[in-house]
Amino acid sequence: MTDFFNGIPTIKYEGPEATSEFAFRHYNPDEMVMGKRMEDHLRFAVAYWHSFAWEGGDPFGGRTFDRPWFGDTLELAKLKADVAFELFALLGQPYFCFHDADVRPEGATFAESKYNLETIVDYFGEKMETSNTRLLWGTANLFTHRRYMSGAATNPDPDVFAYAGATVKSCIDATSKLGGENYVLWGGREGYETLLNTDLARERQQAGRFLTMAVEYAHKIGFKGTILIEPKPQEPSKHQYDYDVATVYGFLKDFGLENEVKVNIEQGHAILAGHSFEHEIALAASLGIFGSIDMNRNDYQSGWDTDQFPNNGPEVALAYYEILKAGGYTTGGTNFDAKLRRQSLEPEDLVLAHVGGMDMCARGLKSATAMLEDGTLEEMRAARYEGWDSEASQALLTNATLEHCEDCVIAQGIDPTPRSGKQERLENLLNRFM
């Protein structure tokens, strides 16, 4: 045991009336919700990068956190792992997620970086023998190091493409070895700053080839997990190729990967793309590519990816509503891709941030369940489309022609009557479940 979380108790469910801050008021892992344990619905994960690797920097200032594991040695990386698994245990977190760069020191050469990663993966493996926490997903950091400043797969330099490919291989190996349930690719630098120096058609082909190689390799080694792309617009490059769910779907179709790859949808990225979180989830589900979520929230005024812990009830509830309607997660889960504010220095801040996030999600899940069980929302939605229930109207969708539409309108004297969309009534209904 390290002494990092000294004095902080293991967090347990104590119900809404709990008096301690160090308690779950809503997250009760064993509670049955629609026939399934709450823990199995939500499948929470801690994100290693925000909780253990991020130092509290922003564009105007550097490190604010003082963590005993900061530094570039394998010994410190092991200390970081010790503390990480202590946090997982304190919270009863079923999963965690990591990038290679979060968990191992960067080596002087590729071989050294690979050795460092393998060393820490073995260390994780030992810890996982006595821990209840599993790996939700692994990923490669192909965006922080300066070699990736002009992209990884989409770099104009083939050497970078090769280096990124070798790195993804090592990260799929690591994820597979630890029994990871998914492998994520977020195209951090896959985009461009100016078209003046960019051949976007060529870069898109490179990205397609790269993803195909990752899928082929995963099959080859018998990786059982799901490959996920995480869409994000406008950050860090001005134009990001994986802008949103719709863009990613078009890309997957183009390269014949729509049955191989799904999406990991992040709340803050949806907001940056000008969508709501529930829109992105519902769209992915309707296209058959919904995989997993990165749960967080963006500041609605700042215009960048602030990665805060979720605390907006209706937003979270609507997200889980769509997830439940899609049948829930299969290999996916709720990854807290969320970080502390840089003034939140204390170890207990890190614990309480997760406690609050987990409770918020549990409330959202319960509200979503109640709305589904009540059924009014779905009934009213169905009623809105009931005109399509007749055979004649269905025929319009199968083999009708524009001439047929014209015949119907004239022969039957069709003159559409506008009907209320009832938005306020539906919003009032939603509020009853919050």
- Number of amino acids touching ligand XLS (CB under 6 A): 10
Closest approach of Ni ion to the CB of residue 39, in Å: 22
The two structure tokens encoding residue 115: 């050795």
Smallest distance from Ni ion to CB 154, Å: 19
Does the footprint of ligand XLS cover residue 5 (CB under 6 A)?
Answer: no
- Shortest Å distance, C-beta 272 to Ni ion: 9
Secondary structure class of 76 (helix, strand, coil): helix
Q: Is 190 in the site for ligand XLS (CB under 6 A)?
A: no
Q: Select the residue interacting with ligand XLS from 181, 244, 260, 294 (CB under 6 A).
A: 294
- Rounded to a whole number of angstroms, the minimum distance from the CB of residue 78 to ligand XLS is 23
With CB atoms as reference, the residue minimizing the distance to ligand XLS is 186
> Should residue 337 be labelled a site residue for ligand XLS when binding is judged by CB under 6 A?
yes
User: Residue 309 gets which letter from DSSP?
Assistant: P
What span, in angstroms and rounded, lies between the C-alpha atoms of 39 and 420?
40
Q: Is 230 in the site for ligand XLS (CB under 6 A)?
A: yes
**CB of 64: closest distance to ligand XLS in angstroms?**
20
DSSP string for 326-358: TT--SS--EEE-----TT--SHHHHHHHHHHHH
Backbone angles phi, psi at 114, to 5 degrees: -65, -45
**Least CB distance to ligand XLS at residue 354 (A):** 16
Residue that the structure tokens 């990665």 belong to: 307
Asked if 280 is part of the footprint of ligand XLS (rule: CB under 6 A), the reply reads no
155 vs 182, which CB is nearer to ligand XLS?
Answer: 182
Asked whether position 232 contacts ligand XLS by CB under 6 A, the answer is: yes
Binding mask of the shown chain, residues 167 to 186, with x at each position contacting ligand XLS by CB under 6 A: -----------------x-x
Which residues are 184's β-sheet partners?
139, 228
In the complex with Ni ion, the residue whose CB is nearer, 316 or 371, is 316
- Binding to ligand XLS by residue 266, rule CB under 6 A? yes
Min separation Cβ 337 and ligand XLS, Å? 5
Going 48 to 50 to 51 to 57, the CA torsion angle's sign is positive
> Sign of the CA dihedral 355, 357, 360, 361?
negative
Nearer to ligand XLS, 5 or 329 (CB): 329
Binding mask 116-155 for ligand XLS (x = CB under 6 A): -----------------------x----------------
Torsion of CA 378, 384, 385, 391, to 10 degrees: 110
CB of 262: closest distance to Ni ion in angstroms? 15
Can you state the angle between helices 277-287 and 313-325, rounded to 10 degrees?
Answer: 10
Give the helix/strand (H/E) hosting 319: helix 313-325
For ligand XLS, the closer CB: 102 or 359: 102
CB of 229 to ligand XLS, least distance (A): 11
Secondary structure (DSSP) of 240-269: ETT-SHHHHHHHHHHTT-TTTEEEEEEHHH
CA dihedral 362, 367, 373, 377 (to 10 degrees): -140
> What token pair was written down for 416?
């559409």
**From the list Ni ion, ligand XLS, none, partner contacted by residue 114 (C-beta under 5 to 8 A by kind):** none
**Rounded Cα distance, 354 and 11, in Å:** 10
Q: In this structure, are residues 232 and 305 in contact, taking their beta carbons and an 8 Å threshold?
A: yes
Nearer to Ni ion, 260 or 305 (CB): 305
Q: List interacting residues with Ni ion (CB under 5 A).
A: 266, 294, 305, 337
- The interface partner of residue 139, options being ligand XLS, Ni ion, none and the CB cut-off 5 to 8 Å by kind, is ligand XLS
Per CB under 6 A, residues contacting ligand XLS are: 99, 139, 184, 186, 230, 232, 266, 294, 305, 337
